[in-house]
Structure 1
Amino acid sequence: MTEWRFWLAEQRGTLLAIGIFVAMFLIYATNHPAGFSANMVQTAANKATLLAFVAMAQAIVVITAGIDLSVGMILTLTNCLASWIVVGTATETALGVAGVLGTGLVCGMINGAIVIFGRLQPIVTTIATGAMYYGIALFLRPNPGGSVNETLADALTGRLFGVLPTSLVTLTLVALLIWVPYSRSVVGRAAFATGSSEVAAYMSGAPVRAAKFAAYTLAGLLSAIGGLFLTFFSYTGEAAYASGNAYTLFSIAAVVLGGVSLMGGRGSAIGAIFGALAFRTIGDLLFVFDFDPLWQPLFQGLVLMLAVSIGAFGLVRVRNRLEWFG
């Protein structure tokens, strides 16, 4: 197989997600009541960015053949925390942002430590820790409220040069600063090896524990960035259990739509980003075509089921595990 064909095969899921997103967004833009405009793009980008950050977090863990069902609750917790501490002067706001991101890191480290050293299944661990994080969020914000530094919020949710959504620029920078170095590092390559076969990775001398720990830690950080942006968009904090669960479930759908294998060892956070953008555009299309609100949850559930099933389609023609990664 030539080099470009190998690259094409590796990036097939990401390219498919990009194609789906572009097609759906064109349909959305051409049918939007206000037409294609900077305001329309900004609104769509701001909504999609939240899910994109959480999808990146989920993708990094799924690549190791794990799963993190606490990403939505970390987002909720950091949203509530940000509504308390990301206020005041520039210095106070900067310290508040650092505190929110640090909280996300700690939550991810807790998940990773329990999975690695406690030797518990990731799905059980993250369900339990997610409940803990939601309990803390509820303690911080028993009722919706709080505030945020409006200058910073407006800067990160507005438009650059009056055209380009700042949230998308931030999302791109985060992907370049976190995912690209991570995926090319020793720990990042070990994460892919661990997802393909943990035993083989261990026997080859790959740092399996470090790879898993880094994956869960980065997932916590990315979820916290999502929580920050939720606060910037809403100017408030709310311990919304349904919202946290929705982001967790939708992140899994976005990951699969983005070509990340739920079996681990295959995919990228970039694909997950476009999977998130595509999945969020589905909701926008329901609005544009005036879909009955009573049927929207059913339709979104069907899309979610289809998204999760996509990863299984390729297994029909796979005779052994080596072919899946070949």
Structure 2
Amino acid sequence: MREWRFLIAENRGTLMALLLFLAMFAVYVTNHPAGFTANVVQTAANKGVILALIAMAQAMVVLTAGIDLSVGMIFILCNCLGSHLLGGQPWQIALGVVAVLATGLACGAVNGLIVIVGRLQPIVTTIATGAVFFGIALWLRPYPGTTPDFAADLADAFTGKLFGVVPASLAFLAAVVLVVWVPFSRSTIGRAAYAVGSNDMAAYMSGMPVRRARFAAFALGGLLAALAGLFLTFFTYSGEASLANGDNYTLFSIAAVVLGGVSLYGGRGSAIGAVFGALAFRAIGDLLFVFDLDPLWQPLFQGLVLALAVTVGAARLFRIRNRLDMFS
């Protein structure tokens, strides 16, 4: 019984995000004109998975008590690059996918190296690198477009339905969690990332690989952002260097991380919670659509949700008497 209580307490944020998502999605499908159908779930899943991947990328860095404000621009850069490379023969498409993922990984690695070697604050570093990444994206795609022989069959496979029922995007998201997050969280580097977020100096004095943990968090964050950019290319069949989309997804990823129970002070939470937080945040937009809220009011409402999410994430500070209580 005590073990169950410990697990529930440890994963309280993830469970609350899951319950919030289920409640909001139930309201959404109940009020949707088409009701609860495979097509409705597929559309919602395709939109939600993009934000979920970016939220996972943000969570990686936030767990180390950092923040990545370039994650949206890596996402946009990889979308633009994918729109150029995902065409031709199957081997060319495969190389294109590898190139896109390698680009995201390299962008995250650059962020990590600057933070570690240059000893700069992550927020300052990623603002600067984000501008560079967007500049490259704009150079690649000054106008929205795609390659003439775009891999539509591959895109349909990732955004369609498995067995005519299960959204392939959700299966893809589950595979990413199992292949990327689960091994990382259970590895020495993953445990060191939690320790760094909880207390950087204590982790260093304990002999943990602090630098490698930070570098891995940023690099994997870039890889996950690249997966999101790749999925956006599959979803839209095109690439676009949209500054608004990059900024919005960066802000939404922070909201999703907090809604998923990941502490902005680091060392607490999980990428799985960030996934449910992202799905819950995306469900808010779907509800605004279903209830036909005036588009002029939608950004205001989402901004209020973002502010509330950040406030809830920081509320724990008002219940502690000293900083040691944060790690108890």
TM-score, length basis structure 2 = 0.98
Structure 2: distance between partners of 1:257 and 1:324: 19
**Aligned position for 2:278:** 276
Structure 2 residue 307 is the aligned partner of structure 1 residue 292: no
Question: Which letter maps to 2:160?
Answer: G
**Aligned position for 1:231:** 233
1:167-206 paired onto structure 2 within 5 Å: 167-206=169-208
Structure 2 residue 315 is the aligned partner of structure 1 residue 313: yes
Unaligned stretches of 5+ residues in structure 2: none
**What is the SS of the residue equivalent to 2:45?**
helix
Question: Which letter maps to 2:229?
Answer: G
Structure 2: distance between partners of 1:43 and 1:3: 38
**Aligned position for 1:74:** 74
**What is the SS of the residue equivalent to 2:207?**
coil
Shift of 1:56: 0.1
**Aligned position for 1:105:** 105
Shift of 1:23: 0.3
**Aligned position for 2:121:** 121
In the alignment, which of 207, 210, 233 is matched to residue 208 of structure 1?
Answer: 210
In the alignment, which of 233, 252, 255 is matched to residue 253 of structure 1?
Answer: 255
**Aligned position for 2:137:** 137
Structure 1: distance between partners of 2:10 and 2:322: 18
**Aligned position for 1:219:** 221
**Aligned position for 1:166:** 168
**What is the SS of the residue equivalent to 2:120?**
coil
Question: Which letter maps to 2:236?
Answer: S
Question: Which letter maps to 1:174?
Answer: V
Structure 2: distance between partners of 1:319 and 1:266: 19
Residue by residue, what CA displacement relative to the aligned partner does 1:262-312 show, whole Å, maximum 9, x if unpaired? 000000000000000000000000000000111111111101111111111
**Aligned position for 1:241:** 243
**Aligned position for 1:12:** 12
Structure 2: distance between partners of 1:40 and 1:325: 42
Structure 1: distance between partners of 2:204 and 2:2: 30
Question: Which letter maps to 2:49?
Answer: T
Shift of 1:313: 1.6
**Aligned position for 1:35:** 35
Q: Any conservation in 2 of the 1:266–1:325 contact (CA below 8 Å)?
A: no
Structure 2: distance between partners of 1:68 and 1:41: 30
Residue by residue, what CA displacement relative to the aligned partner does 1:115-163 show, whole Å, maximum 9, x if unpaired? 0000000000000000000000000000000143101000000000000
**Alignment length (residue pairs):** 326
In the alignment, which of 265, 289, 293 is matched to residue 267 of structure 2?
Answer: 265
**Aligned position for 1:89:** 89
Structure 1: distance between partners of 2:222 and 2:60: 10
Structure 2: distance between partners of 1:4 and 1:108: 37
Residue by residue, what CA displacement relative to the aligned partner does 1:24-68 show, whole Å, maximum 9, x if unpaired? 000001000111100000000000000000000000100000000
Question: Which letter maps to 1:96?
Answer: G
Structure 2 residue 33 is the aligned partner of structure 1 residue 65: no
Structure 1: distance between partners of 2:39 and 2:287: 17
Structure 1: distance between partners of 2:22 and 2:260: 13
Question: Which letter maps to 1:311?
Answer: G
Structure 2: distance between partners of 1:160 and 1:236: 23
**What is the SS of the residue equivalent to 1:27?**
helix
Structure 2: distance between partners of 1:194 and 1:251: 21
Shift of 1:8: 1.1
Residue by residue, what CA displacement relative to the aligned partner does 1:181-204 show, whole Å, maximum 9, x if unpaired? 000000000000000000000000
Indicate the RMSD between aligned Cα atoms, in angstroms: 0.8
Shift of 1:4: 1.7
Question: Which letter maps to 2:44?
Answer: A
Structure 2: distance between partners of 1:264 and 1:228: 28
Would you identify which runs of 4 or more consecutive aligned residues in structure 1 move more than 4 Å? none
TM-score, length basis structure 1 = 0.99
Unaligned stretches of 5+ residues in structure 1: none
Question: Which letter maps to 1:160?
Answer: L
Structure 2: distance between partners of 1:78 and 1:321: 40
